[in-house]
Structure 1
């Protein structure tokens, strides 16, 4: 996306005034307090007359009712406000929320929130409300005796009698009860204990909890910063005296998983986008602030300076994402810019304020080493690669970017774009994943880091969603294997092989495809990259013809002009694009001569970070009954001088001997 104009007065959002969020110079606790206030201030005009609801810009419908959407808009910012107040800070609008809570639980009020039904979204918003009551006694006191009775009924009695999804949602009921308990209100200890015990069955080992019971493989940011680990740590802090053994166990798990989670954050402050709900943006780092809040002793080699560095660099990176705001200054649904294609069916205009989880660090005392330490870079001390058994990821930080190879997790239900959010082969902090804005042709499917197969000539494409996967060792090195069938009679085995020191900008993607019952077209995509030339923002030209060290090979042709010879190259020559770094793909296997290389101009707004992208892609056709091996080299180099971006393009990665042998012996 085009960088805004920079002036002496600050960073301009396009041609308008700068958002205050981008202008706060982050250095210490006070500056982070000020950053939070730039999120809260724009909410003021959107409070209802009695302050019990907040209707934010963006009249979008969600799977729950409008009242619940507006409750969400009120309660989610409480994550930030309550942390600010619990840490001794002040905010001018605190009374808005106190008045809103009081009127929202009043059954006689015109703005009464309504009793929750089974599996009601209101239960989600009970979590920040329960947390706020637990850590800010002034809120409980401020709503008065009648308000306290209303909260007891709405927050306690109703939720304890209702069904909830068998996921991280159960933590929300725990905190509803915990908020009441901390204030002497009526609550259910029996329900609280039963929920925590059941949530413990989600634990899988190595510090990781799954977002659901057996049979689901879903370990994304909900397993760490959005819900489970975050809330385990807050529980350990708030309920540790009553439940000391479990509190200590939660701290131990956090110590273990921290050594894995540290791999998801690069030196520039970016997190690797992976999974659903990434529209919660900077909530991706809330786990790290929660470590400090829960008084966890850090495992070596991590230091509080490294933890502080992860959080502060992350917030600074988001300060550079100038297009994520509405004209009113509120957060939008999207990632680096407003984007409904990547939104879940539960993302209302108030939904992005779950991002306020990141401000748990403000509840940490200013004397804690989180605040007193100098920022450090964790990549100075941790190895550049690690295989993570539980999530099924191989993490690497080589070749200029932090990325993961994924065995193929899956959400428990087929949400919008689930194959892109969980089933892609690689996820990068530099090149975010892409979601499909439509259901016809490759341009709409936007198959970044995915293999697509079509049996209808290229209109509909099937990708990896459900798979049987495992982390294996080949000659002492980690490799991911997955078995999947996009059609009942087309069977694929995929190997994902991480970079090696000799060729750090390449990783290997290998597919053994048996088109048992039908002919299929295939499309194997690299990372998506910005499709704008630096000269004027227009689409990229043939490499080097207009702007030095920038462009594509072969030539990018307008969408759907598939018969143009200049748009194609032999698969062994590959395809690449150079703009903000370089990405590309080549066919490496000698038997893979049938594939050709091209650039797919993905439909706009498919990528999370770059609104206009192109995807170097290898395409081929497998006849009915054929077995083929596709060995693709995926190139990526996002950092350095432009003239160096393609320095590794001609130095091809070697195909491992074990793979050559398997291909040769396959009948």
Structure 2
């Protein structure tokens, strides 16, 4: 039975701990029909990952084991699902070298390194009720299987935490482990720290949900649930991490829409409500800095966003997709068991029913209580939200899953200028190679658009008067990546490069309205190439009906309105025309995707162009700012945006370096 809503305790979502427990138990019971005979695998229906079906079956076990473990801990050892013994049987079969269901070892298959961490973490926190009750022979086999991580190479990204967690468990149960491994992994983690609580998942500018559900989650749970502070983890490091978590969550709270949707940006979005995990980490460890009512509001909002949109599916399963099944969201490593990393987002169930987070009255999110956002320096983001529509948007001048100067095609989930909690870039189709949405590009005579990956971040600032500003520049390049068949791990693709001009782009953001400034510098590129022009794309809005009937174009004012959203671009300076691009079957949010765009006649080198860009639910009145650009004598410009109410904002577009 569905629990009854409690609008006194939870005025925003109605949800209580009973709703969370009911959802979790439903997920756990639904996968049991796909349990292998001895329980070591859950061979779920759906696509097979690049790692193969054996790895996918292990994923199904390990990731649902996470959820089972959280349920047992939150009930102080009681097994509310009655499934713990079945997972114990799976541990026995999976680690038995003679079993037909034996798991690939971490030294045999990289994905097993990931899943080993989930298994070790749950064995640690349920030790009294599971590990200590296993036969000695089973415990030894589990140790033997886990210990193959020792001395193994791990990529210098969030993966280092999988080895830390496994070896820390081995240390506590008398198994082999390596202090050198853990020291090396902690050094990698330190190298990923970018300030203000933010980490990059690798040395590239890789800012995404992994910051929260991996690079904050594992360090904080490691220091909370393992006996490591003052031994393996220096006290000063621990204090840094706790401060980082609180600072990060203060930003992350602004990236949740009023409807509970997380930001649609970055890889592995099929993990869905795993986006709630970092909020729960703060509550579990007591170091999040957020009030219990805000934590539950954020987490229940995220989970309910998905349950209100058909998640899990009619069979009670999590499939690859966002709301419904949409395999185009998968990365190469994603299989049918992968979506169950969403279990991380149910970490709060490890907290008992009497914990304050379950008993405080919900408090509003910034997206439903404030019209102002913030500048977030590390990822190079400007964040804005409005009470009128509850959509959180990000303008991106620092993230592309690459490094400065790299030549790759733009990854749709990293390199766009804009992301939001209500839109997603087309993930398949023509615009993957020739991006339109939230871009500034040079388009050639054949209709091919340049890419921006490898750009240089110039600044990210709060400019006063509730105005946010950011700028970036880089060599616009045509990338022919049709021959690149490397696995999709979220990066752009490589290919033949044709260099174009230098593009400097700035965003001036106020009350959700962006004035996007552009200057093209030839910088060695022949501006006389025939047929080229500058195109500036707006927000991609999904619709279940053909966009042709809902778009509006008046020369340099182009809009598209779905039943829920409006995307609008309007010329302010230098643009002479526009149109509406539409594609079918390229988005998990709707059958069609429409993007309004503006264009110039030719390529006006050295001139400042300006266009307005807006995403809303139709409630923002028209704004017609003016833009004045004054050369600075060094090839750059000082640009002033004058808003209709008298506020002025001045930013610089630096000259060619």
1:449 paired to 2:435: no
Shift of residue 132, structure 1, vs aligned partner: 0.7
Aligned with 2:28 (options 40, 43, 47): 40
1:269 paired to 2:280: no
Shift of residue 197, structure 1, vs aligned partner: 3.5
Question: How many corresponding residue pairs?
Answer: 589
- What secondary structure, in the 3-state scheme, does the structure 2 residue paired with 1:391 have? coil
1:511 paired to 2:518: yes
Q: Where in structure 2 are the equivalents of 1:392-471 lying within 5 Å?
A: 392-398=380-386, 400=389, 401-412=391-402, 419-430=411-422, 432-438=423-429, 440=430, 442=431, 447-458=436-447, 460-471=448-459
Alpha-carbon distance in 1 for matches of 2:205, 2:352: 37
After TM superposition, the score normalised by the length of structure 2 is 0.83
Shift of residue 99, structure 1, vs aligned partner: 1.0
Contact preservation (8 Å) 1:342, 1:435:
no
Contact preservation (8 Å) 1:57, 1:328:
no
The structure-2 alpha-carbon separation of the partners of 1:142 and 1:581, relative to structure 1 and needing over 3 Å to count, comes to same
Could you say which structure has the higher strand fraction? 2
Shift of residue 359, structure 1, vs aligned partner: 1.1
Aligned with 2:579 (options 566, 590, 598): 598
Contact preservation (8 Å) 1:602, 1:612:
yes
1:363 paired to 2:363: no
1:291 paired to 2:271: no
Alpha-carbon distance in 2 for matches of 1:647, 1:223: 32
Alpha-carbon distance in 2 for matches of 1:295, 1:666: 48
Alpha-carbon distance in 2 for matches of 1:127, 1:475: 44
Counterpart of 2:7 in structure 1 is none
Contact preservation (8 Å) 1:308, 1:370:
yes
1:87 paired to 2:107: no
Shift of residue 468, structure 1, vs aligned partner: 0.7
CA deviation digits over 1:512-563, x for unaligned, max 9? 123523453443221122334xxxxx43564xxxxxxxx3213xxxxxxxxx
Contact preservation (8 Å) 2:39, 2:90:
yes
The structure-2 alpha-carbon separation of the partners of 1:79 and 1:450, relative to structure 1 and needing over 3 Å to count, comes to farther
Counterpart of 2:214 in structure 1 is 227
CA deviation digits over 1:307-355, x for unaligned, max 9? 1111111111111112x55553311111122222222111111111111
Counterpart of 1:553 in structure 2 is 552
Contact preservation (8 Å) 2:385, 2:512:
no
The runs of at least 4 aligned residues of structure 1 exceeding 6 Å deviation read 380-383, 413-417, 661-667
1:634 paired to 2:613: yes
Shift of residue 119, structure 1, vs aligned partner: 6.9
Alpha-carbon distance in 2 for matches of 1:373, 1:618: 49
The answer to which of 416-425 and 350-359 deviates more is 416-425
- What secondary structure, in the 3-state scheme, does the structure 2 residue paired with 1:305 have? helix
Alpha-carbon distance in 1 for matches of 2:655, 2:207: 34
Contact preservation (8 Å) 2:408, 2:453:
no
Q: Where in structure 2 are the equivalents of 1:40-79 lying within 5 Å?
A: 40-58=28-46, 60-79=47-66
1:607 paired to 2:590: no
The structure-2 alpha-carbon separation of the partners of 1:452 and 1:664, relative to structure 1 and needing over 3 Å to count, comes to closer
CA deviation digits over 1:593-616, x for unaligned, max 9? 3xx222211231x23423322111
Counterpart of 1:187 in structure 2 is 177
After TM superposition, the score normalised by the length of structure 1 is 0.82
Shift of residue 367, structure 1, vs aligned partner: 2.5
Aligned with 1:582 (options 543, 561, 566): 566
Alpha-carbon distance in 2 for matches of 1:30, 1:9: 9
Counterpart of 1:493 in structure 2 is 504
Q: Where in structure 2 are the equivalents of 1:233-248 lying within 5 Å?
A: 233-239=220-226, 242-243=229-230, 245=235, 246-248=237-239
Alpha-carbon distance in 2 for matches of 1:612, 1:242: 52
Shift of residue 266, structure 1, vs aligned partner: 2.3
Is there any run of 5+ residues in structure 1 with no aligned partner, and where?
1-7, 11-24, 533-537, 543-550, 555-568, 639-644
1:144 paired to 2:139: no
Give the aligned CA root-mean-square deviation in angstroms. 3.0
Is there any run of 5+ residues in structure 2 with no aligned partner, and where?
4-12, 478-498, 630-637, 641-649
